[in-house]
Structure formats: C-alpha cells, structure tokens
C-alpha cells in the first residue's frame, strides 16, 4: 500500500468500448495501492474482478443484465440518425433516469465512504450524487471530447445537439432537486462543472483538444484488453509471408452480421491471412469463411497487432487507439455512435480510408488492396504511434486522480 492510499468509487455502464478503458484506470489505481469499488452493470462483474476491484450492480438505475441484444439500453441500430442516438442516450442514460443513477450512487457512497467518485461521462446522476455530498468528482471520457464547446466542429451541429439535450434539462434538474442542489441553466454544465474531466485519448488525435475548458486533462488512451478476451494461437507457420489483416467491427451488437460476412468474403479472395474477432454478441458459426480467414469470438488485439499489416474496424475508440499505437493503418467502416467522427479523423491524418457500412465485398477488397499497396498509410500510422508513445505515461491518469484528492483534502483542512 502507498503511504496515502485512497478509496475510489467508479460508476460505469456496459456501453461496449466505454467500460474497458475505465476499468483499466481502476486497475492502475489498484496497482498503485488504492482501493476501487465499481458500481455498474452485472455484465461487467468478470472484468471488475479481473481489475482487482469490488463490485455492486445497479439496482434502481437502468442496466443490462445479459448480453442479449434485447437487453441493450440504447438499441441504437434502430435509430434513424445520429440525433436519434443522442435522444436515446439522453432518455435512457444521461438525464431520463438521472434520479435513479443518483440514488444508487448515493447508496454506494454511504457504504464505501470513498475519497472521490469517478463517473463515466454519460452518468450525470452519479455526478449529482457526488456533488450533493461534497465529494471530489472526476468525469471519465473514454473517447474523444464529445461535449459541444465553442470552437469545436460546425456551429449548426452544436446548435442541434444543444436543442436535443435541452429537452432533458427538466429531468436533470429534478434529480438535482432531489439531492438539494440548485437547478442548472445548461444541460452539459452537470459534467462541465466537475472538478476534473479526464479524456482518455491523445491530444494529437483529438481535434477538440485546443478548445476544451481549463478543468479538462488529456491523460492518454488506456489500451488494456478486456478480461473476457481469450488467448490466441496462430494457425499459420511462424514464417508465413502473407500480410495479416485483423478485423474487429464491434464488441457489442450493432446489426453488423451482414457487413461482417461481406468483409470475410472480401478477404477470402485475397492472398492474405485474416483474423476476425466477433466480440461478445456473435458466434463463429454465424458466418462462413475460407481457410485463409480465422474467425474467433475474441483474441488479444495487443498480440495480433504486433504482426498485423492492416486493421478493418468500425472505429470504436479503443480499437483505433490500439491500432495506431501499434503503427498499423486502418480501413474504417463506421456503423454509428462516435465512430463516424473517429473514422474521419483517421482519414484526415492519412492513416487509413473510410467506407460506408453498405460497402460491398468488392469495395472492401479494393480498399484493403489500396491501403496495403500505398506505403503512405503505414508511414502516417507509424508517425502517430511515435507521438502516442511519448505523449503520456501510463501513470498520468492515476497522478491526476491522486492530485485531485490531495487538493480537495487540503482545501477542507
């Protein structure tokens, strides 16, 4: 234990790529000698225990109890457009159930007595509970900066986003009133007023990094593989000459079955080795593949990337950061959420190209051949890898949290 061991409460939810980096932060805290209690979806218990944390499931707040697609809180594959996804997020996570998330968080605070609360950036109710009892609170943003901030993106888009979330302000203020807090005038002030907002990505990758508020800290991506990822034994000889292509479209259900099959069909006709990782929602029998394509539920991307020449991905933040940190170029096929913005950034930096989710097998095959043939994609990916290797140390996020608790303790003395 460190001389100043602290206790943290982490609140998270099973949103696919959001929880692994947040639990990676928890593991770093535990390895440093601190204790972490996690409040989250029951589907995360294996990952929580692997991180060395204790666990309580949500009870009042909405949560997923299984990996069945019908248990998904957002069902964003049914959404009509990105603003519809935002409405679902507002109503199902951010403000609609803010009172319930606040109540569960308050109960855990009374039980665990943490020195600080770490809250996923979508869990506004948890931030309310911490604010109500005067605990230091750090908001974790496990992707790029997503809050509409002056100077970031198109002004018209920011206006539309603010118009959508404004409809949730009444629910948010009702949750605040339940906890004895004054109402807010703007929706995102609930997290913008937190003591710290820790963005788990690279400043060089995130175009918003020059426009964020003063309480925001970029602490670098957390690239740990999830606990549910299995081991990997290559079916090919060690001296295999064909390029290795890694495919990982999504670890959760995004109605990706047909696209996955077209991707496999594209690779089956190429002189390449391919590994397709399905994630938690599909089974290998759900797709058919030729002998040069190995289909598995999971495999450690950190291991495969050491030998990969190319990655095909839907552009979840974690997969993209792991890929670029390894200096590997990308064929991006975004399917929603924040994936379009991440894919656009990959293309802007010259580390890959972007296809629509409707792309045919022939179009996917042509994109793979282009990226493999054009050395500039690999060169630009390796440049980004060099930046990522020196931009942040793994302990940066822990040092920020230790500083936050120490600073708040000094303020109270």
Query: Which burial class, exposed, middle or buried, applies to 280 when counting CB atoms under 10 A from its CB (0-12, 13-18, 19+)?
Result: middle
Domain ranges for the chain? 7-220+392-412, 244-390
Q: What DSSP state is assigned to residue 222?
A: -
Whole-angstrom distance, CA of residue 204 vs CA of residue 402: 25
Whole-angstrom distance, CA of residue 248 vs CA of residue 310: 11
Strand order in the sheet with 216-218: 54-57, 35-40, 7-11, 116-120, 137-141, 196-199, 216-218
Going by C-alpha positions, the residue among 75, 13, 1, 92 that lies closest to residue 47 is 13
Whole-angstrom distance, CA of residue 110 vs CA of residue 54: 15
In Å, how far are 33, 38, 119, 124 from 112, measured between CA atoms?
Answer: 17, 10, 15, 20
Predicted pLDDT at 190? 96
Q: Extract the residue ranges of the chain whose pLDDT is less than 70.
A: 1-3, 153, 250-255, 280-284, 410-413
Predicted pLDDT at 288? 74
Asked if residue 366 lies in contact with residue 179, where contact means CB atoms within 8 angstroms, the answer is no
User: For 244-390, CATH number?
Assistant: 3.40.50.2000
Other beta carbons less than 10 A from residue 52's beta carbon? 14
Whole-angstrom distance, CA of residue 392 vs CA of residue 87: 34
Predicted pLDDT at 1? 42
Written as six digits, the tokens of 306 are 């050491």
Please, what sign has the CA dihedral across residues 129, 67, 310, 363? negative
Place of tokens 């569960």: 104
Report helix, strand or coil for 117.
Answer: strand
Asked whether the domain spanning 244-390 has the same topology as the one spanning 7-220+392-412, the reply is: yes
Other beta carbons less than 10 A from residue 42's beta carbon? 14
Dump pLDDT digits (tens) for 224-252: 887 777 788 888 888 888 899 998 876 66
User: For 7-220+392-412, CATH number?
Assistant: 3.40.50.2000
């Amino acid at each position: 234990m460190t001389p100043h061991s602290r206790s943290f409460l982490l609140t998270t939810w099973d949103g696919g790529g959001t929880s692994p980096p947040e639990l990676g932060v928890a593991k770093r805290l535990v390895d440093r000698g601190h204790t972490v209690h996690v409040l989250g979806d029951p589907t995360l218990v294996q990952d929580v225990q692997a991180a060395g944390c204790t666990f309580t499931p949500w009870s009042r707040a909405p949560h997923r109890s299984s990996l069945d697609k019908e248990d998904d809180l957002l069902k964003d594959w049914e959404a009509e457009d990105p603003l519809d996804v935002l409405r679902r997020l507002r109503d199902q996570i951010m403000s609609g159930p803010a009172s319930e998330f606040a109540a569960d968080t308050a109960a855990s605070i009374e039980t665990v007595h943490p020195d600080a609360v770490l809250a996923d950036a979508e869990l506004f109710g948890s931030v309310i509970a911490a604010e109500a009892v005067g605990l230091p609170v750090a908001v974790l943003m496990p992707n790029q900066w997503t809050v509409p901030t002056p100077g970031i993106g198109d002004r018209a888009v920011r206006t539309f986003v603010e118009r959508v979330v404004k409809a949730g302000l009444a629910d948010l203020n009702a949750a605040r009133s339940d906890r004895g807090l004054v109402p807010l005038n703007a929706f995102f002030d609930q997290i913008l007023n937190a003591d710290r907002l820790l963005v788990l990505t690279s400043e060089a990758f995130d175009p918003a990094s020059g426009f964020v508020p003063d309480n925001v800290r970029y602490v670098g991506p957390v690239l740990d593989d999830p606990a549910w990822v299995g081991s990997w034994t290559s079916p090919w000889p060690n001296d295999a000459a064909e390029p290795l292509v890694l495919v990982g479209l999504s670890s959760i259900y995004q109605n990706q079955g047909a696209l996955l099959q077209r991707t496999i069909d594209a690779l089956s006709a190429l002189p390449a080795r391919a590994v397709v990782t399905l994630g938690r929602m599909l089974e290998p029998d759900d797709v058919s593949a030729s002998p040069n394509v190995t289909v598995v539920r999971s495999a450690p991307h950190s291991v495969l990337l050491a030998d990969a020449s190319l990655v095909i991905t839907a552009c979840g933040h974690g997969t993209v950061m792991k890929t670029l940190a390894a200096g590997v170029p990308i064929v991006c096929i975004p399917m929603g959420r924040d994936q379009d913005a991440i894919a656009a950034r990959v293309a802007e930096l010259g580390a890959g190209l972007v296809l629509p989710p409707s792309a045919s097998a022939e179009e996917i095959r042509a994109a793979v051949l282009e990226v493999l043939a054009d050395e500039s994609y690999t060169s630009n990916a390796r440049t980004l890898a060099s930046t990522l290797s020196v931009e942040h140390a793994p302990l940066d996020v822990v040092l920020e949290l230790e500083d936050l608790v120490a600073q708040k303790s000094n303020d109270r003395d």
